[in-house]
Amino acid sequence: MGTGVGFRPGRSEAEASARPVQPANGEVHIWSVGLGATRETVARLLATLSLEERERAARRYVDHDRRRFIVAHAALRAVLAHYLATSPSTIRFVRRGSGASALGPEWGDRLRFSLADSGELALVVVALDADVGVDVERVRAHRDWAEIARGYFSAAERERLQSLPNHRRAVAFVRCWTRDEAFRKALGDGLAGSSATGSGDVAETRTWSIHTLRPAPGYIGALAIEGSGSRLRYRRWPGVGMTLSD
């Protein structure tokens, strides 16, 4: 059901980024976004966001939190605009019944996406006709990992974590957390509102694939996608031919 993959920039990365071609059926495009940016760049990116997004950014009183939010959400808009052959600011989002974000009906319902960020890295995933979820976390030790696991992980997942030596638990904890969160995001939910079922149990009875990602040193991510046999394609934002503003 799951695989572990590292990010491998290929020779086609620049070529693929230069053309507004939507993912083929069975493909998932995974965009890696560095969240560092100058003040001038952040100001340009802010102009592409909606009023609601700008208000959300303004509520982040710490400068680096606000900057990360702006860059991540502007990157999402730019990536989607790349596939839709439009300007980032023209994209409108709506909430599905599950609470997950989706493109406005004027863009159709075939292009599905998910966004996650941690530290100085964000991931944007895009697929066609298949629900997707992504999560990413910076690896660091959690002193209260056992308490968190009791609240969110299945009994089998907790047992596996407990059996590991201390020096391996941080990576294993983040790997388990991101896989669970990516799966729930694909379903339109998040860990904050879930019970301790654990995607490791639930996904076995559903047609889903869950992949562990290693997008950058010190980070672990996960991708959940409806169906099986998906081909993962890696991109870096901003890509060739993509602008940082309208």
The answer on pLDDT for 94 being more than 80 is yes
CA distances from 81 to 31, 49, 108 (A): 13, 12, 14
Do the domain assignments include residue 246?
no
Please compute the mean of the pLDDT values over residues 197-201 and round it to a whole number: 42
| Distance (Å, whole) CA 65 – CA 70 | 9
Please compute the mean of the pLDDT values over residues 168-178 and round it to a whole number: 86
Please compute the mean of the pLDDT values over residues 127-144 and round it to a whole number: 87
- 116: nearest Cα among 129, 131, 133, 103: 133
User: Within 13 A of 206's CA, how many CA atoms are on the CB side?
Assistant: 16
Do the domain assignments include residue 245?
no
Q: What percent of the chain has pLDDT above 90?
A: 57
Tell me the per-residue pLDDT of 45-84, one tens digit each, with 9 for 90 and over.
999 999 999 999 999 999 999 999 999 999 999 999 999 9
| Distance (Å, whole) CA 66 – CA 70 | 6
Domain containing residue 14: 2-237
| Distance (Å, whole) CA 131 – CA 101 | 11
Q: Using 50, 70 and 90 to split pLDDT, how confident is the model at 41? A: very high
Count of the separate structural domains present in the chain: 1
Do the domain assignments include residue 242?
no
Question: Is residue 102 within 8 Å of residue 83, measured between CB atoms?
Answer: no
Q: What is the pTM of this model?
A: 0.82
Strands 27-34, 231-237: parallel, antiparallel or unpaired by DSSP?
parallel
Domain of 130, CATH number, reads 3.90.470.20
